[in-house]
Amino acid sequence: MHSSPSRFANTQHRLSHAASVGVETMRLYQPRSLLPILEVAGAYRRYPVQLSESIRFVKRARDLGFSLAAISSSPDAHEAAHL
């Protein structure tokens, strides 16, 4: 029997791996409102699968030389963080 995929299937570790960043990078993005800080459900936080795109957006912007402050003030970043 196969379970249906969940919108909240990713732990922080799995999501960081899917987005090709470290867990510490995700933790750096959260207090800057670049990623939501989710409540713990059970023993782990469960992150929406589509957040990997938001993480990649921030990573690309950083690679292009934008500061986290500039990225967090961007309307695109705000939209991406609140999918």
> Do residues 50 and 56 lie in contact, with contact meaning Cβ atoms separated by under 8 Å?
no
Tell me the pLDDT tens digit for each residue of 43-81: 778 888 888 888 998 999 999 999 999 998 887 665 655
Helix (H, G, I), strand (E, B) or coil at 22: coil
- Domain layout of the chain by residue ranges: 12-81
Amino acid at position 65, single letter:
G
Q: Which fold has domain 12-81?
A: Multidrug-efflux Transporter Regulator; Chain: A; Domain 2 (1.10.1660)
The pTM of the whole model exceeds 0.85: no
